[in-house]
Amino acid sequence: MADLPTLPPAARPGDALTAIDTPALVLDLDAFERNLDAMQAAATAAGVALRPHAKAHKTPAIALAQVQRGAVGICCQKVSEALPFLQAGITDIHISNQTVGPAKATLLARMARHGRFSVCVDHAQQVADLAAATAAEGSTLRIFIEIDIGQGRCGVADAPAVLRLLEALAPHPQLHFAGLQAYQGGVQHVRGHAQRRDAAARAAERTAAVVAALAAAGVACPVVTGGGSGSVEFDLASGVYTELQPGSHVFMDGDYGRNEAGTALRFEHSLFIASTVMSVGGGGRCILDAGLKSLAVDSGLPAVWQDGAPSTTLAYTAANDEHGIVRLADGAAAGATLPPLGSQLLLVPGHCDPTLNLHDQLVVVRGGVVQALWPVAARGLSR
Ligand code: PLP
Ligand code: MN
């Protein structure tokens, strides 16, 4: 058994993009860095803290690049997801979500011994679980009370409910009230720029009303955190948020690409699936090696990308587990042909977050040359 092969890497630094063994998740480093720089510059100019969401990338190398540019820390959506980031040296992590039960509270309380951690609550039982775990572990947590500002997901309804949760927090000095989380996911994907601006304004108004009611009751909210890639330009200007949590802007997936962008803050596609034509079937179609196990289709099928722009010739029309079917696009020029067997095609996935969760590594490319492989270390960590 001694000469059994091991799996070779998909690529090595110095390889050409076209030589990557596919399917592979590819990051265009130039576009990615411009996205990070644009987001940090906008936050800095507005005097708002940037705490980018790491659930989009699950990649410690990206979190470190964000913190190096000025991010105050990161968000994670799950407790276990935070662990690889802490191990990589990211020590300021907000769990932008609720947890219940001793297992998660205990892991969070243990991690909190090594950094500045926070988490959301919207029920006294969550407070009790966190209080017990932090007391046992001898750690402290910053607590955000989440309010529902229209998404209809987690969060309490109003300021009186916030005040009731503050009473539940009061007996536990190791749990510090840090402020409010107010996130409205539905706003992010409103397509029209003006409509999205109006939807973000309504969400910010609901947030401001709760902050004002709490102030009238003598309660200050040091931090108001929320926002995502689709609303961030409006949230920055709202005067309501002190901290923003965009995630997908680093990649700009196909779904965000369908939003009408404004002029203030624009992001570029930096994330691609490199795939290969592995069969040309019976003609009239070609078959790629990238299907459902390489990309998420909950926000639509991927776009085929050619010469730095969406292809007007080729359309990805169906995804099987390990096959992608490509045909000539409606409206392709007369005489257009399908790519031959062995051709590499780049795809822009519809939704970045679940796509990242399908891959162990990002192949990082600049100018068509592989620079590095970045482990997607938090892949699969959904507990
Ligand atoms: N904050 C919370 C609580 C979220 O659930 C999300 C995404 O769903 C984000 C921030 C980041 O959003 P996006 O990746 O769309 O920028
Ligand atoms: Mn998403």
What domains are there in the chain, each with its CATH number? 17-25+267-375 (2.40.37.20), 29-252 (3.20.20.10)
Which residue's CA is the closest to the ligand 1 atom numbered 5?
185
Question: pLDDT-derived band of residue 152, with 50, 70 and 90 as boundaries?
Answer: very high
| Residues ≥6 apart with Cβ < 8 Å to 214 | 159, 162, 163, 220, 221
Percent of the chain with pLDDT over 70: 100
Q: Can you read off the two tokens belonging to residue 163? A: 């005040």
Q: Whole-angstrom Cα distance, residue 298 to residue 295? A: 9
With bands split at pLDDT 50, 70 and 90, how would you rate the model's confidence at 70?
very high
Report whether 365 contacts 28 (CB < 8 A): yes
The amino acid at 332: A
Q: Are 280 and 342 in contact (CB under 8 A)?
A: no
Lowest-confidence pick of 7-16, 149-158, 306-315: 306-315
Question: Is 28 in contact with 71 (CB distance < 8 Å)?
Answer: no
Residue 1 has pLDDT above 90, yes or no: no
- Write down the pLDDT at residue 264: 87
Average pLDDT, the chain: 97
pLDDT over 90 at 237, yes or no: yes
Q: Ligand 2 center to residue 221 CA distance, Å? A: 27
Distance, in Å, from the CA atom of 221 to the CA atom of 225, rounded to the nearest integer, reads 10
Contacts of 239 (CB under 8 A, 6+ apart): none
Q: Are 302 and 254 in contact (CB under 8 A)?
A: yes
Q: Is the pLDDT of residue 307 over 90?
A: no
Ligand 1 pocket mutation pick from 35, 39, 55, 255 by most atoms within 8 angstroms of CB:
55
CB atoms within 10 A of CB 47: 8
| Ligand with the closest atom to the CA of 352 | 2
> What is the value of ipTM here, to two decimals?
0.99
Q: Which atom of ligand 1 is nearest to the CA of 97?
A: 3
**What pLDDT does 137 receive?**
98
For the stretch 9-32, pLDDT in tens is 999 999 999 999 999 999 999 999
Spatial contact of 268 and 31, defined as CB atoms under 8 Å apart: yes
Q: Which amino acid, 60?
A: P
pLDDT at 280: 95
329-338 tens-digit pLDDT: 999 999 999 9
Ligand 1 centroid–CA 245 distance in Å is 7
The answer, yes or no, to whether residue 128 has pLDDT greater than 80, is yes
Closest ligand 1 atom, residue 232 Cα: 16
Residues with beta carbon inside 6 Å of ligand 1?
53, 56, 96, 183, 185, 188, 228-229, 245-249
pLDDT digits (tens, 9 = 90+) for 338-361: 999 999 999 999 999 999 999 999
Chain centroid to Cα 40, Å, comes to 16
What is the per-residue pLDDT across 242-298, written as a single tens digit (0 to 9) for each? 999 999 999 999 999 999 999 889 999 999 999 999 999 888 999 999 999 999 999
Closest to 51 measured CA to CA, from 228, 214, 282:
228
pLDDT in tens, 272-283: 999 999 999 888
Give the mean pLDDT of 366-370.
Answer: 97
Distance 269 CA to ligand 1 centre (A): 18
Q: How far is CA 131 from CA 126, 146, 314, in A?
A: 9, 17, 56
- Nearest-ligand number for the alpha carbon of 230: 1
Average pLDDT over residues 129-134: 98
Written as one letter, the residue type at 298 is: D
For residue 344, the surrounding DSSP H or E stretch is strand 344-348
Distance 85 CA to ligand 2 centre (A): 19
Instruction: Give the three-state DSSP class for 214.
Output: helix
Per-residue confidence (pLDDT) for residue 323, from 0 to 100: 98
What is the Å distance from ligand 1's center to 185 Cα?
A: 7
